Amino acid sequence: MNTRYDYARADYASRGIDTEAALAALAAKSISMHCWQGDDLRGFDGDDEINGGGIQATGNYPGAARTPAELMADIDRALSLIPGKHRLNLHASYAIFADGETVDRDKIEPRHFAPWVEYARARGLGVDFNPTCFAHPKAAGMTLAHPDPAIRRFWIDHCIACIRISEYFARELGSPCLMNIWIPDGLKDTPADRYAPRARFAESLDEILACGYDKSLVHISLESKVFGIGLESYTVGSSEFCMAYAASRGIVPLMDNGHYHPTEVVSDKLPSMYLFYPTIALHVTRGVRWDSDHVVRLDDETTEIAREIVRCNALDRTLLGLDFFDASINRVAAWVIGMRNMQKALLIAMLTPHKELAALQESGDGTALLAAQEDLKSAPWGEVWAEFCRRSGVPADGEWMADVLAYEKEILAKRS
Ligand code: RNT
Ligand code: ZN
């Protein structure tokens, strides 16, 4: 008997597309899942609210993870509902201290992440890492661009400590670690000097990179931003700053699609970046009117980002991570929805006859191109997705949510 997948496979074959190749490519692409959706970015290294530094988690849906064990259990539950093999993205604020131990961010060590190594190793996950240059008394004003050299020193030391921890993750888990630097530094109102803070930021970064690290183990990226809440007039780490810095120092640029003016799209930026950088990193998110970090939907821009990655043949040189933190809905569901949507976008891109479409563009046949692009939207990619879930041993669309609800009832609802 022919299954629905068999029909879809034949349908795609008639369009010149091999669904088996797409399934293999999708299975091979890991996405770095951000731990911070599970607890609204609170972390475990203090009780500083994250709100500040221009970012904000809004909502108070019950069930946020309060301890490392709870966060790990929630990540497990989410990963059990997401097809494929992925990575875990941790922030420095998720350090796990022994009872009574307090260690400031400039002094954290690999041993504070040993439980995460154990967790990741047992599940075959690679880990990515981030210095946490916000939600801290010393991050009230600027951090790596601060006018006070003592404050800058603190955050430089924090980033160097994070490089050591990233090396540790990479070595222990046998998988290179992406360490992404993002700082909130900026100003609410019109600056009198835009140059000096940027010059200090560049100097601080140079000092961090000069610490000496194993470049085969740690890839360092720099994430730009356009503005943050309370920092509306000036962002030290702007797009131009970060791209130019990354290019000149040979590190990885990271683009978060919530970090641009609302009509600017990362999908359009990708081919230019691929032309000039060997590797690029992404934070895929969804900004609604501002960098609101809503859960990734299967929307036009997410799909277009995936199309550019695939048609530029850049799957291997794009380090793909998600970055959102919605506290108003079930947090496990948020992860599952966002991860599955990113994968669906990739699958749609992998099931697209890019060469044929490009030939229509090159021949100047805009009518045929528009027709083909629109007709492809009703191709049976959903059956291929269902097959991917089936082969990966995870529930299909329409089925996984029951599992989340059961988990909410048994576990999440009991957290206060
Ligand atoms: C903030 C940046 C940054 C953070 C995470 C938690 O605007 O997007 O990537 O969201 O590091
Ligand atoms: Zn980001």
The finding on whether 225 has its CB within 6 A of some atom of ligand 1 is: yes
Predicted confidence at residue 377, as pLDDT, reads: 96
Cα–Cα dist 177/174, whole Å: 9
Radius of gyration over alpha carbons of the chain, in Å?
A: 22
**Direct distance between the N- and C-terminal alpha carbons of the chain, in angstroms, rounded to an integer:** 51
Residue 45 lies in a domain: yes
Q: Give the tens place of pLDDT for each residue, 291-337.
A: 999 999 999 999 999 999 999 999 999 999 999 999 999 999 999 99
The finding on whether 291 has its CB within 6 A of some atom of ligand 1 is: yes
Mean pLDDT of 229-252: 98
Cα–Cα dist 257/260, whole Å: 7
The finding on whether 387 has its CB within 6 A of some atom of ligand 1 is: no
Q: Give the tens place of pLDDT for each residue, 183-193.
A: 999 999 999 99
Predicted confidence at residue 47, as pLDDT, reads: 72
Q: Give the tens place of pLDDT for each residue, 65-113.
A: 999 999 999 999 999 999 999 999 999 999 999 998 999 999 999 999 9
The finding on whether 55 has its CB within 6 A of some atom of ligand 1 is: yes
The pick from 33, 34, 40, 55 for probing ligand 1's pocket by mutation, whose C-beta has the most ligand atoms within 8 angstroms, reads: 55
Q: How far is the CA of 414 from the centre of ligand 2 (A)?
A: 31
Structure tokens at 70: 């709870």
pLDDT at 117 over 70: yes
Residue 5 lies in a domain: no
Structure tokens at 235: 């962002």
Q: How far is the CA of 182 from the centre of ligand 2 (A)?
A: 8
Q: How far is the CA of 402 from the centre of ligand 2 (A)?
A: 30
Predicted confidence at residue 243, as pLDDT, reads: 98
Mean pLDDT of 233-253: 98
15 DSSP 8-state letter: T
Residue 366 lies in a domain: no
Catalytic sites, residue numbers: 182, 223, 225, 256, 259, 283, 291, 293, 323
Predicted confidence at residue 104, as pLDDT, reads: 97
317 DSSP 8-state letter: G
202 band by pLDDT with thresholds 50, 70 and 90: very high
Q: Give the tens place of pLDDT for each residue, 272-295.
A: 999 999 999 999 999 999 999 999
Predicted confidence at residue 389, as pLDDT, reads: 98
- Please identify, by atom number, the ligand 1 atom nearest to the C-alpha of residue 291: 7
Token pair 């990739």 is found at: 346
**Percent of the chain's residues with pLDDT above 70:** 100
> pTM of the predicted model, to two decimals?
0.98
Cα–Cα dist 199/206, whole Å: 11
Domain of residue 205: give its range: 31-337
The pick from 36, 58, 223 for probing ligand 1's pocket by mutation, whose C-beta has the most ligand atoms within 8 angstroms, reads: 223
Residue 343 lies in a domain: no
359: left (phi over 0), alpha (psi -120 to 50) or beta: alpha
Closest listed ligand to the CA of 185: 1
Q: How far is the CA of 256 from the centre of ligand 2 (A)?
A: 5
pLDDT at 149 over 70: yes
Structure tokens at 128: 């990515």
Residue 63 lies in a domain: yes
363 Cβ partners below 8 Å, 6+ apart? none
Q: Give the tens place of pLDDT for each residue, 2-53.
A: 899 999 999 999 999 999 999 999 999 999 999 999 999 999 998 767 778 8
Work out how many domains the chain is built from and give that number: 1
The pLDDT mean for the chain works out to: 97
416 band by pLDDT with thresholds 50, 70 and 90: confident
Q: How far is the CA of 90 from the centre of ligand 1 (A)?
A: 12
Predicted confidence at residue 1, as pLDDT, reads: 63
Residue 369 lies in a domain: no
Structure tokens at 82: 């997401």
The finding on whether 130 has its CB within 6 A of some atom of ligand 1 is: yes
- Please identify, by atom number, the ligand 1 atom nearest to the C-alpha of residue 323: 10
258 DSSP 8-state letter: T
Domain of 286, CATH number, reads: 3.20.20.150
The finding on whether 323 has its CB within 6 A of some atom of ligand 1 is: yes
Predicted confidence at residue 82, as pLDDT, reads: 99
Residue 53 lies in a domain: yes
Alpha helices in 91-229 (DSSP H): 114-123, 149-173, 195-209
Cα–Cα dist 373/253, whole Å: 30
Residue 342 lies in a domain: no
